Structure formats: structure tokens, C-alpha cells
Amino acid sequence: MPPQRATLLQVAQRAGVSRSTASFVLAGRHLDMRISDDARQRVLRAAQELDYRPNLMARSLRTKVTRTIALVSDTLASDPYAGKAINGALAAAVAHGHLLFIGETEGDPVVEERLIADFLDRQVDAFVYASMFTRYVRLPKQLKGHPVVLLNCLTRGARPAHHQIIPDELAAGWSAATTVLEAGHRSEIYLVGTPDEQVFAGRERMAGIREGLRAGGTGLAGTVACDWWPDSAYEAVAGSLTAGLRPRALICLNDRIALGAYQALREAGRRIPDDVSVLSFDDSDLAAWLRPQLTSISLPHYQLGWQAVEKLLGPQSDPAVLRLPMPVRRRASMAKPPVS
């Protein structure tokens, strides 16, 4: 059997004070209750000697506050890369003295309904509703009336009812264009990947790239269409090179596409970055593993998780969409264009 926990009454008896005095000291209310420093020190010493820990369940029944929050996601928690958002959320919860429960639905609405019901039965104080990919969502009806922050997802409507924390993909596209221009490229710049209008990240990245290049007095020479996976990118880039395409810079819509492009360029005898510069998005572990290391625009997963919990537990403010910056991780895949 586990050892019996010390009670507040035992702490009070050991310190030679009343139970209410011990309670006020341990709650940090010794000043407003005019408790002497000597009594305070005796209570603290007794609590330490008895290894006293407050009964949080009993406290929550009195205060209706459990100091717990729940993060409900589709597949965010189990992804090794995007899971950094969980790390950020955990760190912020600890900083505020809260416990974070994590539940994953794998996109199943039945599982989601049961999961939220379980969290509500446990009387969590608030929710983070998260998505693996940035997208528009409908909040479950069960969350109505409860404090909620959306992580990497949005609700439609002119006025958000909750804080919504997302990466600034539009500015990231602009940064991609600026990085290519700063390297000296003005022509033969190609996009690799199909910017599906239904995919939030692709649509926003594409808009930012176009705006950034237009501001620099140039534009894309074309698009090498492919799915967002290495094998599709390899086949598309290899086929284009065989057909005579001679790019000077490739902007890949994610790091997996860049991997396929690297393989196709290497097989065609095109050197990175001497012959072709390559830039990408996401800054996954893959970007640092490739040789040469890939310049990539980072998704701020940790910061997304931190800010979501901070908006829940920090100072109150009007609900808004918060776009977090995506920094450029400059590595060895970008260089000046070759001299013709």
C-alpha cells in the first residue's frame, strides 16, 4: 500500500497553530491575514518535514478550478516533428502551474466526441483544439461555453469567437521570394509542387511567393507540378530536366518535395547550389540531413503550442487570429546564379 499522505491538520498540530492558520500560510495569504513570520516559518517547516502536499481534488471541489487544460488534436500529438507543438504547450502549462491532458482523435468525430466528454467529466478548466495541418474547422458543440484556443486551425467568420494561433504562411512565401532575390536570381525561378487551392499552406505560400517576386520586378518562370512527396517530386523534376528545363532556382513547397528534387538534380549532373539553388518550407529534420543542407523556412511548432496555452492562461484579450513568424533557416543550398 502507498504511504498515507500527511493532512493539513497534522501540519497545523506539528506547527502549533490552528488548521485555518496553516491553510492561510500554505495558500500564501499570511500577509493579508496578519499571521506572524514566526508562525509562518513553523508551518512551512512542518509541511516540509511531513512532505505535505495539498489534496488537489478536494481543492477543486471547493473552488471549481482544477488547474488542468486539455489539448484535443487530430494527429498532431503522434507526429515526431509537429509534436514540438505539444512540447511548447506543456512548457507553457507548467509555467502557469497547470497540468496538460492530451488526446488524439485521428480525425474520427465519434472518438472526438467521447474524448471531449471524458475531459469535461474530469472538469478541465479549458481546451486547446489543435490540427496537424492549418485548415478551417468547426468547433465541436460540446466546447460551447468553455474557454478554447485554436492551435493551427481557424473558424470561418468575420469576427473570431476564440483566439486562433497559426503560422504566417503568407509572410513565409514573401520570405522565400526575398531569399531567392537576395541571392541574385532574377530569371529561371521555378516552383516545385502543386499549390492546391484547398490546402491553406499551399495557397498562402503561393500568394506570398508571387507577391514577393513581383515586388522584386520578376516572377516565376513556371511550375513543376507534383504531389507533396519525394517520389512524385523526383519523377516530375527528372522528367522536366530530361525535357530540357534549365532552372537556376527551385522553390519547393515543402522539404519532402526538395528531397525528390535533390535526387533528380544529382542524377542529371546538376550541382546544388553551383548550378541550381534550392529553397524549401517547413524546416523539418530532413532539411539538416540533406547534403548540401537545405535552406528552409521554419514552421514554429513549439511557439504555436506555447502561444496557444499562453492565450488560455495569460492576461485576457479580445479574440483574434495570431499569425506567428516563420524564420528562414539559411543553409548551404542557396548561391548566386551561375554566369551564363
- The x, y and z cell numbers of residue 313, run together, are 492562461
pLDDT tens column, 181-233? 999 999 999 999 998 888 899 999 999 999 999 999 999 999 999 999 999 99
Percent of the residues in the chain that have a pLDDT greater than 70, as a whole number: 92
Helices 301-313 and 84-95 cross at an angle (nearest 10°) of 30
Query: What is the pLDDT at residue 32?
Result: 67
Closest by CA to 221, choosing from 250, 182, 264, 200, is 250
Model confidence band, residue 8 (pLDDT cutoffs 50, 70, 90): confident
What are the distances in angstroms from CA 77 to CA 74, 116, 168? 8, 16, 21
C-alpha cell at 109: 468525430
**Helix/strand/coil for 78:** coil
Polymer length of the chain: 340
Mean pLDDT of the chain: 91
pLDDT given at position 81: 61
What's the pLDDT tens digit per position in 68-100? 999 999 887 657 667 789 999 999 998 988 899
Which pLDDT score, from 0 to 100, does residue 47 have? 86
Q: Are 310 and 88 in contact (CB under 8 A)?
A: no
Q: Is the pLDDT of residue 59 over 60?
A: no
Say if CB 66 and CB 56 are below 8 A apart.
Answer: yes
Q: In the chain, which residue ranges form alpha helices assigned H by DSSP?
A: 8-15, 19-26, 37-49, 56-63, 84-95, 109-121, 169-182, 200-215, 230-242, 255-267, 285-289, 301-313
Cβ atoms of 296 and 279 within 8 Å: the answer is yes
d(CA 21, CA 99): 28
